[in-house]
């Protein structure tokens, strides 16, 4: 049991200082469980938003919501905490008025967590932070030439070149990651793109680079196959999963900054993640949870389960 | 018209002291409509919860929300109030600091409502109260040896043996009911089980006793058939339906204590209940509505319609 | 103990079908406690509003909130339920699309409650309903020539002549009651008037008729004395108290349709009501509670206590 | 580019006085973009409701929510603002205490907007206002004998004859429009009817007049085909689309006055609208958004996208 | 009547495109009412926050809330719209990722509004924007050497030198304005400072520059006199009023980013503003309204009344 | 600087795993800062409530809210973290279905924290937990014969003998603590008692034991003097402060289980605490925060500041 959880006989799930899913703080992990397989950390940053902010409070809300996440995954038939050594590494440093500066701080922080075998899970924060975590994950994965394969769940492409003079906002992480070689556009799949766009040309960047787009209107027919095919196609290359909570319909995730109606249900989202069974993970993130728009807490709660679902993919692959 | 509703020409649906669906209080039912077919009563108790409480306010919220529930069911083509004599029997007595004591009070209260032909509908309260209502319903049904067949909608199995020294919490009602002979495990079906578990062995109790499990990932393919088959299989034996609102996704039912993302939609839930057409009912409950987490009131509102849907099954069977 | 409350040993305050303060329904009052001293009834009507509606759900919310109101008043040293026989008379009939028609229905309903000694307490609904209850209270008080003395807590004067062609909206009840002789303008005091007006002439009607105005900026210096003096001045004449919850600051009563910042605190409001000690009451109302703008329920909760405070004045006067 | 939007380089989507989708006010439209193709206007009226009001604040909420609606529709591959000249015509005049009076004011106002080629989009307000906008749209469409074909998304039929003495409430618009010849019942389709009814006879009016009913339980199997068939059947006749937000499940649209559980998802609703591809539009409305029950704003946000979806149908037809 | 409001007989307060207090848009003001006395504009910017953001949505929320603000001020006995020509100038341009750049854009925008006699009222946005509006107001006031006298309502001093490398955040406007000569520190009064500080030295900047500090614990005894004395002392010099809504207790203004418990009531705040009677105004702002933390809307509503209260000071001075 | 806080240059107040006021976890305190002066711990328990539960989530909410509490107290002129070594000791163990069992666990846990000089601050949880912390604080204070002096802020006396068979619910802690000798009734003062009671005899227990009662109606005149006098009277005896958040009006603290209208403002509450200047503290608690009724988070935020205010009393006494 490499991940030791609090004893619920004395400390129920509503008790204690909140860490992600009640996993130990990184500094509290016993030597025999080190190095950890995953370092999960928050990035309390919303300086990259283009509309509604507040996602800097995402890590705190997701820590609290995640207290109820248990350890055994029924569909994959795997006890995540038995297979993986998991830890909460706290929050990355941020420089609130400096997007690129923050992203560099985060990359540096993440790169320093654990050992090269430690995988990185970033909890946002706005989607700009994916840039930072992908870079660190890429380095841990051995700096693969051509970049990491990437699975991208989102209503938006996030491939805008520049917005209000800024190249690193949450509208642009995948433009930068592709341009700078951290992501392999030909092995990138974007699932759930939907909603009104500013212009038809918004799709140009991704299409020109060979990103596979599964727009929402094709989800029912194409997504499951595309994801399973993606895993087969990349073979054993370590890949990254980035999950923007706004890929889910506002009914399921009201607490986000740029929601888009007509999205996935939670059931669909979790089901699509399960299609990635067998994937070898290089890192992951879940982003864009905005607690101030989440009066019932269902968005942060879903995000916590998305995190578990991704960890379960890794546990399943390792156990399997 | 055995159930006389207020005249909406003078008392619109937003008017009057709230009783369940505007049905008369039990003591106000006219002799010609007695004994009632169903006594609906609240159980304002949340002493059995293991995480978030507040379900003791469920009956009050559901009474208020149910004012808008009308009487004619389009799909079953039946006017529920024309077929059934229905009444609100008020709330059962409770002993807030004593789970087992409360359950005994509730059973005794319920058993005393109406006559032996009166069916019992309990409105929770947390799921621990199912133990009380099933016992009373079992007695009214003639104390059938081997227990009642039971249809169970829930994200959780509720078959934990003991939690923090307590055998009768909301984690355990079906363990107790099966062990004590009130429910026939071989004729029990649990629909919608999902989410992370503490351990794989959480499923052992139900599986060992022969409970039919339709986990959520098999809902789309198996549930409709399993429910229709269940009705056929039990024949005319009176059966009990217990509906934990958390079987529905948090988007549809945020107001509950242990929600689970990736659940049923309301449409699915109502559709699955309709698969029970033809069932002979011994009793029912709807539980785990937590008004303090329900800012738009949609959870209590859904629960009121679930109640109506179950009553419509009975009306349809009797009319049909 | 003329008012028999449920036995809290078996039915705690969170249990049971909600009636005002857990008082018995009028039809359930025992003969030895009849006729009741006060018939409390709801008026689920918001057809008279000029801005935000939703006050038709006020009676339901106040019934629920009032479950926690106890019986003994510490400052007046009186057990309200020991002195008074109190009952919930249900909701008055309404005709939702017809203001004047509704007001006539309400007056007729109220006039028929109990006996001539029964006092009437109306729970709104919007302030237009004061017109109906004052008329009925006036009749019960022996149709005093010149009308009833009246104490009016409000941010607004409610003496507009006509709005959008309507003479009986919630902007106008006191214009009508004065003109039609049900209220004695010379023995009327309006406390708490504040906020921007459409024009200086908005004050003309009240001033011309001799209404005593205690505008909010004079509350601290003048209100306590003016209210005590009012009681002394009217002597034993039965008087009416109308309490618009918007006299209280939005911090204390967010749930109302035309709030006004800079108002009374709850402490001030309850304190001012206590200045009426010794008043002989002909009737009362509390109005303008809008549950949809009251996410924490504090407005309905305050309104329930205002109701209790007014009843305690009567109990104190009778006991004293 | 007939519709000129604010330059997002200086006025981001969270900036500026809110007009529908940031379209210009009607009085600000440049001569070269006049007459506008669509005049979009609000009807701040909830005087026609039979249960929960507050929809008078719908236009304001939808204006604010619509700031994030962009211009290019991916599925129809059309830039709505490039094809159509669109404008916000402000709010129609209303007479808050007079339903029929308001409806006449609204019809007159709408009829005067733009030129005969200008199409009318009304944003409610309660559903009673459809009566007003359909009449005006009918006149603009050349007063076709027999009335307009109409597509109706709703949980309710809205064909009640009279309620509390009123013929023009939100329960009745289609009864009146059919009776008075503005809608062609034989070319009317109602999609999404569901929930408990007062009586089986509630369906009589629509059935007797030949309205095509797609009740919710038949949505999955029948709706797409029925809508596509409807477009084919009416040929080039200009038709009207009325969209009551309560056709969508309360999870997706909690902010409405008479919600009905078990409804459409947003995804389904938008998908069904897309089935109308090719329709020639005479006018449209989206109604029954109630901001006070919409704590996360998702209902108004969805309504704004429904509006865009309908405009995109027209743009697609004209571009196509 | 230099400010022409919509005719409420056809366009009630809940109708129409929202402008501040229903004042005309600047471009719609009639020539005979030009130049306007006050140009009120929004600054949708929250890039300067150090904790919770979301104030960029303040202007929109305050516009909506202000629809209910009327025109006549009872205490000052002045009809604001009869004395002053008022207009909504829309929102200033912003550059969301560039604080100083935005502040320069705002100053330039504001300086260009109306004529030199036009006074500037900025509606935030976070408090950083005061820097921009004070600069523009200072220029309109004739660029007085030594800067403008300033009245500052706030829980915080906002005189931090640099935070996370940034000199122009909402923690620093008054440090910059004093240093750069736009504000006369010796004629500045800060009212309502309270709450835990990072260090005693936080007070040094203001004290060293001679700012008059009325900390909250001295409000009851000192504030009224200090404010009246301030007006007397500055004589006829035009002065600026900056009002951070967090000076008010969170009970009255929950919707703000850095609340501080133990603050002013709304009644106190409005009362203190009235102590400025006679002040000659050079400009004003109200800032830090955060709609996402304001579920009942009372914060934006209060802010709208604060704006009216400040305008009434000017109207009173001019009328008087 | 015995309490080392995170460096805000890299970890702003919205960052990091939440501990009370960002104080270090007890296990992370450096040797040179040990033993700590105060161990602050949560008690996630609501098993003792008689009405609305949910206070078990109080510690988590207060930890999150307390991130914004700074270190220097302006009125007492003391830097709390410079004087005191403070730590977050995590949450006490609880036994959710066993009140007395939990209280014993908590006492034992608290007694084991730090050394005999370590003071104990408990963060509830419902008021029943005061029983546990007072016992432990009493032991640390040397088990003074006759019990500890106690200052009690509350709307309720909490001296009920037995409720529903339970002697240790949140209605009874002070009855038990007095009877069992842990509190010196003659040196106990209860401030803020108010609201309707079940009976006049509710006051008997406290009065008979000599508890000083400052009922709310006497706050303005008596409380400041009584508290200052209390400190003088007990001399240097270590005393305990228990603060039930419901002493504050629901406008300031909506998030609590048994609110009472007409209570203290936050300003009054903080001011009264400051009257205890000079008190020697044996321990303290703040209880009854119920996050599910606290949509804007102002209750937990106030509670965090109450905690700081009490710690500042101790720092001031030690520094002074």
Q: How many CA atoms lie within 13 A of C256 on its CB side?
A: 34
pLDDT tens, C83-98?
999 999 999 999 999 9
Q: If pLDDT is split at 50, 70 and 90, which confidence band does A10 have?
A: confident
Average pLDDT over residues E282-291: 98
Contact B51 A13 (CB under 8 A): yes
Q: Which of F168, D196, E239 is nearest to B315 (CA)?
A: D196
Average pLDDT over residues B232-259: 97
Q: If pLDDT is split at 50, 70 and 90, which confidence band does C235 have?
A: very high
Provide the token pair at A97. 């008025």
Q: With the C-alpha atoms ordered A270, A272, A274, A276, is the resulting torsion angle positive or negative?
A: negative
pLDDT tens, B306-316?
999 999 999 99
Contact D305 A195 (CB under 8 A): yes
Q: How many CB atoms sit inside 10 A of residue C182's CB?
A: 24
β-pairing, B239-244 vs B86-91, is unpaired
What pLDDT score does C17 carry?
97
pLDDT tens, A115-146?
999 999 999 999 999 999 999 999 999 999 99
Q: If pLDDT is split at 50, 70 and 90, which confidence band does B64 have?
A: very high
Q: What percent of chain D has pLDDT above 70?
A: 100
Q: If pLDDT is split at 50, 70 and 90, which confidence band does D298 have?
A: very high
Task: For residue B251, list chain A residues with Cβ-Cβ distance below 8 A.
Answer: 249, 251-252, 265-266, 298
Task: Inform me whether the pLDDT recorded for A189 exceeds 90.
Answer: yes
| ipTM associated with this complex | 0.97
Q: If pLDDT is split at 50, 70 and 90, which confidence band does D191 have?
A: very high
Interchain CB contact of E15 with C (< 8 Å): no
What pLDDT score does B151 carry?
98
What pLDDT score does B9 carry?
84
Contact D261 B266 (CB under 8 A): yes
Q: How many CB atoms sit inside 10 A of residue C77's CB?
A: 12
- Average pLDDT of every residue of chain F: 97
Task: Inform me whether the pLDDT recorded for C165 exceeds 90.
Answer: yes
Q: If pLDDT is split at 50, 70 and 90, which confidence band does B57 have?
A: very high
Cut 0.90: pTM above it: yes
Average pLDDT over residues C130-159: 98
Task: Inform me whether the pLDDT recorded for B1 exceeds 80.
Answer: no
Per-residue three-class SS string for B255-318: CCCCCCCCCECHHHHHHHHHCCCCCCEEEEEEECCCHHHCCCCHHHHHHHHHHHHHHHHHHHHH
Q: In Å, how far is B199's CA from the nearest CA of chain A?
A: 5
What pLDDT score does A162 carry?
96
Q: If pLDDT is split at 50, 70 and 90, which confidence band does B8 have?
A: confident
Task: For residue F259, list chain C residues with Cβ-Cβ distance below 8 A.
Answer: 298, 301
What pLDDT score does E320 carry?
77
Contact C261 E301 (CB under 8 A): yes
Within 8 A by CB and 6+ apart from A71, the residues are A3, A5, A79, A80, A81, A82, B196, B197, B198, B199
pLDDT tens, B158-183?
999 999 999 999 999 999 999 999 99
Q: In Å, how far is D264's CA from the nearest CA of chain A?
A: 11
Q: Cα(A153)–Cα(A151) distance, rounded to whole angstroms?
A: 7
pLDDT tens, B177-231?
999 999 999 999 999 999 999 999 999 999 999 999 999 999 999 999 999 999 9
Task: For residue B56, list chain F residues with Cβ-Cβ distance below 8 A.
Answer: 53
Average pLDDT over residues B244-264: 98
| Alpha helices per DSSP H over chain B | 58-65, 80-83, 99-111, 129-140, 173-179, 204-209, 224-234, 266-274, 298-319
Q: Cα(A145)–Cα(A142) distance, rounded to whole angstroms?
A: 9
CB C105 within 8 A of CB C22: no
Task: For residue E295, list chain A residues with Cβ-Cβ distance below 8 A.
Answer: 295
What is the number of residues in chain E? 320
β-pairing, E72-73 vs E78-79, is antiparallel
Provide the token pair at C69. 């109101």
Q: Find out whether the peptide bond into E35 is cis, omega within 30 degrees of 0.
A: yes
pLDDT tens, A28-55?
999 999 999 999 999 999 999 999 999 9
Average pLDDT over residues A91-102: 98
Task: Inform me whether the pLDDT recorded for C320 exceeds 90.
Answer: no
Burial readout A169-186 (b: 16 or more C-beta within 10 A, e: otherwise)? bbbbbbbbbbbeebbbbe
What pLDDT score does D9 carry?
84
For residue A273, the 8-state DSSP code is H
What pLDDT score does F8 carry?
86
Average pLDDT over residues C255-269: 98
Q: What percent of chain F has pLDDT above 90?
A: 98
**F 247-266 residues inside an 8 A Cβ radius of E:** 249, 251-252, 265-266
Q: Which of E14, B20, E4 is nearest to D63 (CA)?
A: E14
Average pLDDT over residues D221-236: 96
Q: Cα(A227)–Cα(F59) distance, rounded to whole angstroms?
A: 42
What pLDDT score does E81 carry?
98
Q: In Å, how far is F156's CA from the nearest CA of chain C?
A: 12
pLDDT tens, B284-300?
999 999 999 999 999 99
Task: Inform me whether the pLDDT recorded for D1 exceeds 80.
Answer: no
What pLDDT score does D81 carry?
98
Q: If pLDDT is split at 50, 70 and 90, which confidence band does E317 have?
A: very high
- Residue of chain B whose alpha carbon sits nearest to that of D299: B296
- Which member of A51, A52, A200 has the closest CB to residue D72? A200
Which residue in the block uniquely carries the two structure tokens 């030909």? A186
What pLDDT score does F254 carry?
98
What pLDDT score does A287 carry?
98
- Residue of chain A whose alpha carbon sits nearest to that of F65: A60
Task: Inform me whether the pLDDT recorded for C73 exceeds 80.
Answer: yes
CB E37 within 8 A of CB E310: no
Q: If pLDDT is split at 50, 70 and 90, which confidence band does B10 have?
A: confident
Q: If pLDDT is split at 50, 70 and 90, which confidence band does D290 have?
A: very high
DSSP E strands, D125-169: 148-153
- Which member of D17, D59, D105 has the closest CB to residue E63? D17
Interchain CB contact of E28 with A (< 8 Å): no
End-to-end CA distance of chain E: 17
Q: Which of A109, A134, A110, A128 is nearest to A45 (CA)?
A: A128
What pLDDT score does E10 carry?
85
CB F174 within 8 A of CB F202: no
pLDDT tens, D124-134?
999 999 999 99
pLDDT tens, C182-203?
999 999 999 999 999 999 999 9
- Average pLDDT of every residue of chain B: 97
Interchain CB contact of B8 with C (< 8 Å): no
Task: Inform me whether the pLDDT recorded for E1 exceeds 80.
Answer: no
Which residue in the block uniquely carries the two structure tokens 């002394």? C232
For residue E45, the 8-state DSSP code is -
CB A298 within 8 A of CB A252: yes
Interchain CB contact of B104 with F (< 8 Å): no
- Average pLDDT of every residue of chain E: 97
What pLDDT score does C240 carry?
98
Q: Cα(D248)–Cα(D264) distance, rounded to whole angstroms?
A: 4
């Amino acid at each position: 049991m490499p991940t030791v959880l609090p004893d619920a006989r004395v400390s129920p799930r509503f008790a204690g200082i909140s860490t992600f899913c009640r996993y130990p703080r990184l500094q509290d992990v016993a030597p025999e469980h080190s190095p950890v397989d995953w370092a999960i950390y928050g990035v309390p940053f919303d300086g990259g938003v283009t509309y509604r902010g507040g996602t800097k409070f995402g890590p705190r809300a997701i820590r609290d919501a995640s207290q109820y996440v248990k350890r055994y995954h029924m569909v994959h038939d795997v006890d995540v905490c038995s297979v993986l050594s998991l830890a909460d590494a706290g929050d990355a440093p941020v420089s609130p008025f400096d997007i690129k500066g923050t992203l560099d701080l985060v990359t540096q922080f993440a790169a320093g967590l654990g050992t090269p075998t430690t995988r990185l899970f970033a909890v946002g924060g706005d989607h700009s932070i994916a840039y930072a975590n992908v870079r660190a994950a890429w380095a841990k994965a051995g700096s693969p030439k051509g970049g990491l394969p990437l699975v991208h769940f989102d209503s938006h492409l996030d491939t805008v070149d520049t917005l209000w003079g800024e190249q690193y906002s949450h509208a642009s992480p995948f433009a930068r990651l592709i341009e700078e070689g951290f992501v392999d556009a030909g092995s990138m799949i974007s699932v759930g793109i939907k909603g009104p766009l500013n212009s038809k040309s918004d799709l140009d960047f991704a299409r020109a680079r060979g990103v596979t787009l599964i727009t929402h209107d094709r989800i029912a027919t194409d997504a499951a196959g595309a994801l399973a095919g993606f895993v087969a196609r990349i073979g054993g290359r370590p890949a990254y999963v980035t999950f923007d909570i706004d890929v889910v319909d506002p009914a399921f995730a009201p607490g986000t900054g740029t929601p888009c109606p007509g999205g996935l249900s939670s059931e669909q989202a979790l089901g699509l993640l399960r299609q990635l069974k067998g994937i070898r993970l290089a890192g992951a993130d879940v982003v864009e949870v905005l607690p101030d728009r989440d009066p019932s807490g269902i968005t942060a709660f879903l995000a916590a389960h998305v995190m578990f679902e991704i960890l379960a993919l890794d546990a399943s692959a390792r156990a399997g």
